[in-house]
Structure 1
């Protein structure tokens, strides 16, 4: 363009020859020709056009003839739009525009054109405005591409079933896509005119509040679950992501929600399938173990019967002991199964867990052996828990044995307990309710586990140990105990790095009860004429209790169901103790019998016996004073001691 200007005939131009141009014009021409950005100068009343190489492509076929001509002779189609802008510059006012849309006639190009530019007044040495200087950029391609992209977004915004929205921190929806109205059966006006809290499922309001607080701190939140209510009150589950606006203080955030109802249905179907697979595995393992135990019991009893029939009474204790041992193992297996299924009968009491753990140190040290170090790190201010202390002891013993077995060359087991408060989000991650919990973690430095093993460790009869070295019920029993106690179990493991198993138990708000052995010596217990009513639908159990208690001097009255027991209680017979099975036929369970008995005879002592019971049947583990529990199968000695304890009898020595 410098060469073109030098070759141009300026003789008849309003500007005259370049040697006579005013100094401000010469200076601007030098700036213009040295620049890459598109620039032009409009000089004098007619805005005679001078421009650089960067501006030439904008002119298309009007270049190079545009040089030295009045601006609106070159661009007549934009005179109406640009005249007010040029007039403003003539008055000394600069003009800046980020997007000016013009209709231009340029061969080979669309008529729509867009520019970003600045018009600056150019003054003479006397200070009057003599022209304008323009630095500009054509943005046509960018604007059209952005418009097309925006149109695609708008189509997606309108077509998708995901919920897109812009909301305020005050709790209102400003902008929503049509899916909101379609999915929720509500009108657009209703959704944008009411606080969005009104359409949130009540149980999820706390989660929503926590998310909004996080967004207000400028932090995004992803993959949180909040249910929305349809017009008929039906909740729909959504997985959401939300981000705050990039402009601080704008008071808005952007959110998108995906309906996960079908996903949850598929997950539930998968869970049901996995449950059926687990039931099959459980049944197979149960049949195998019980058949072995039954063979041991029945075989030894048959041998005992044969020996007695032949008059051979020597060495009978061997067969009796073997049958009893098989029976005890069967009872233990049943207890573990009930623990896994959260159906074992617990005896929860306010427990000082710190004291319980410290009291187990010696036992655990002896159990794991000298090659394994036990380190206990628990807080002395540990909260108490409402639990069955014996079951927690069993759980810690199981976890310590597993940890030892994972370290065949020895290692370190750390038992760490502390107080933990879970908020809504933390509780959601742990699949628990928010609140205060005790965290009791057992960590080893052993071989660790692979992810596919971790997924199955709580299944009944699943074990990685060699045949004969593990039942596969240890961790399932720990899991069942924690869940039945209102808590949770979580496992963290990495191959070669070790394993941590954490039991979470709800905090008990109150003082723990420290049970101490009463020091009562074992021995033959003699009754003083007390009468015991036994209610059990199993005749063999009634006869067993009758034989045991009759031998010790009690008077025993038997009843086959709750109605028969109530009739005895309504009579004038003396009754000092009611022993009742929890699971009874004909419409009354053991707890209902006990409650009816106490209404007839206030303060009557009650002993529940059960082999399997829903917690609700014995008051969810909270029994009234004078009520005790004995789990089947029980020994004769255990029955005798429990009855004597309830009636406050002392054994004779």
Structure 2
């Protein structure tokens, strides 16, 4: 047991061997006393004040606080001790302090607080992003409608184009917030990473500049993965940009892919399940990251760059995307030698998915001429844009501002070929009303729209048949294409 004898003024009179080992300092045996405040930081106030207050109260009921050991040059990590005080029955006036190492407890507490902070920021980011995506859908959509009425030679066309481009930039920023909060809808598909990286090579070479050499190599036995292509590209670009910024004088960046069979891999408080994984490594020869900072690099808004040179969202965005995909990301770094980010994705046994053939133009025109849509969206600007866009393409559109209104229209005898509905709405949500409607209309196609979705169809429910997803914000063409894809085959009408 680690014990200290402390005078009322906070100076340490004696320390046993256990206390010396814990504190790692040369404590006095009588001469040149050391003040406890020079060794331990108090809980929001100097440790000496706590000692004096406890002695003045003349209480021996075991007052306890967690104190932090002041930083030492040889300290590998922060240390905390639970210090319990009692009146010294032998040397009066004075106190006895019992020390217990509380570093593990404080580490767990810090991890819990950090996870709560990450969750709170994620919920805030996801909620804000959802609202912004509705606004951006309306802005981009009405901009598209205006551009249909202007030729490229029109003086207003360039202004409208600028509005559209800036809306796209805003959508990209919102996408980063959703990636961090892990509340974006991923469009998962079977990917060959050789194809993904081949398409990215030109852009990556432009990003790194002339001072840096980019090399890409692949395992000849490479396996496919299930991922969102656009988001995987975003992760790789973020890592390459970070590698570039770590080498202002130039150097080499290597992207290497291989396949591993893992029986047991545990690191960074994560254990990978047994199985085959495709690994993507992005390695640079830059300045490296200090050991004390590696654990923080995936935190949102944390950056080692100077003010104004980074948002601190790049690596947290990559982390969110990889985790939501079902993968893992790790960082190995050595100051002065470089950094390697390793991505692990479960390898797939199958081949890439076949693309459904697109209906011929004449056939599609005939389908559109007789197709009817029930559009359900609680945001009036989004509903107005979507309805106009669909009518311009020949659809018969029926509008509803809520799920309850949509069901009332159907109960009143309305028959349609396809439901186009928001996911998150006041009252009944999109998946719930669609399930209710499909009980009597099983052949109806569905397009779900949402600024984000988390468990879009809800836990414990079967997938909704004939359903597709359209992420907000979307353009006029994206909306039309999503509906057209659902209507490729001749629709089965409700009264057929």
So what's the TM-score if we normalise by structure 1? 0.50
* Matched residue, 2:474: 634
* Matched residue, 1:475: 315
Task: Pick which of 415-424 and 567-576 moved more.
Answer: 567-576
- In the TM superposition, what whole-angstrom CA distance separates every residue of 1:454-480 from its partner, at most 9, and x where no partner exists? 222212222333444432222111100
Give yes or no for the alignment of 1:365 onto 2:218.
no
* Matched residue, 1:460: 300
* Matched residue, 2:377: 536
Q: State the alpha-carbon separation in 2 of the partners of residues 620 and 518 from structure 1.
A: 33
* Matched residue, 2:65: none
* Matched residue, 1:558: 399
Give yes or no for the alignment of 1:272 onto 2:128.
no
Q: How much has 1:275 moved relative to structure 2?
A: 4.5
Larger Rg: 1
Q: 1:472 to 1:621 in 2, by over 3 A?
A: farther
Residues 103-118 of structure 1 mapped to structure 2, 5 A cutoff: none
* Matched residue, 2:335: 495
* Matched residue, 1:174: none
- In the TM superposition, what whole-angstrom CA distance separates every residue of 1:570-595 from its partner, at most 9, and x where no partner exists? 44323111111111222x33223333
Residues 89-238 of structure 1 mapped to structure 2, 5 A cutoff: none
Q: State the alpha-carbon separation in 1 of the partners of residues 206 and 413 from structure 2.
A: 56
Are the aligned partners of 1:582 and 1:618 in contact in 2 as well (CA < 8 Å)? no
Q: State the alpha-carbon separation in 1 of the partners of residues 460 and 310 from structure 2.
A: 32
Task: Pick which of 575-584 and 456-465 moved more.
Answer: 456-465
Q: 1:620 to 1:315 in 2, by over 3 A?
A: farther
Are the aligned partners of 1:432 and 1:487 in contact in 2 as well (CA < 8 Å)? no
Are the aligned partners of 1:427 and 1:434 in contact in 2 as well (CA < 8 Å)? no
Are the aligned partners of 2:122 and 2:180 in contact in 1 as well (CA < 8 Å)? no
Give yes or no for the alignment of 1:347 onto 2:187.
yes
Q: 1:567 to 1:278 in 2, by over 3 A?
A: closer
Q: How much has 1:345 moved relative to structure 2?
A: 0.7
* Matched residue, 2:71: none
Q: Which runs of 5+ in 1 are unaligned?
A: 1-160, 162-261, 297-313
Q: How much has 1:315 moved relative to structure 2?
A: 5.8
* Matched residue, 2:141: none
Q: State the alpha-carbon separation in 1 of the partners of residues 308 and 155 from structure 2.
A: 29
Are the aligned partners of 2:122 and 2:181 in contact in 1 as well (CA < 8 Å)? no
Q: Which runs of 5+ in 2 are unaligned?
A: 2-101, 137-153, 490-496
Q: State the alpha-carbon separation in 2 of the partners of residues 287 and 574 from structure 1.
A: 34
* Matched residue, 2:222: 382
Q: How much has 1:444 moved relative to structure 2?
A: 1.0
Q: 1:424 to 1:528 in 2, by over 3 A?
A: same
Q: 1:517 to 1:439 in 2, by over 3 A?
A: farther
1:573 to 409, 414, 420: 414
Q: State the alpha-carbon separation in 2 of the partners of residues 282 and 573 from structure 1.
A: 41
Q: State the alpha-carbon separation in 2 of the partners of residues 535 and 412 from structure 1.
A: 52
Q: State the alpha-carbon separation in 1 of the partners of residues 129 and 436 from structure 2.
A: 40
Q: State the alpha-carbon separation in 2 of the partners of residues 363 and 515 from structure 1.
A: 26
Are the aligned partners of 1:491 and 1:499 in contact in 2 as well (CA < 8 Å)? yes
Q: How much has 1:607 moved relative to structure 2?
A: 0.8
Q: State the alpha-carbon separation in 2 of the partners of residues 359 and 353 from structure 1.
A: 10
Are the aligned partners of 2:265 and 2:271 in contact in 1 as well (CA < 8 Å)? no
Higher relative contact order (CA 8 A, sep 6+): 2
Aligned residues: 368
Alignment partner of 1:395: what SS?
helix
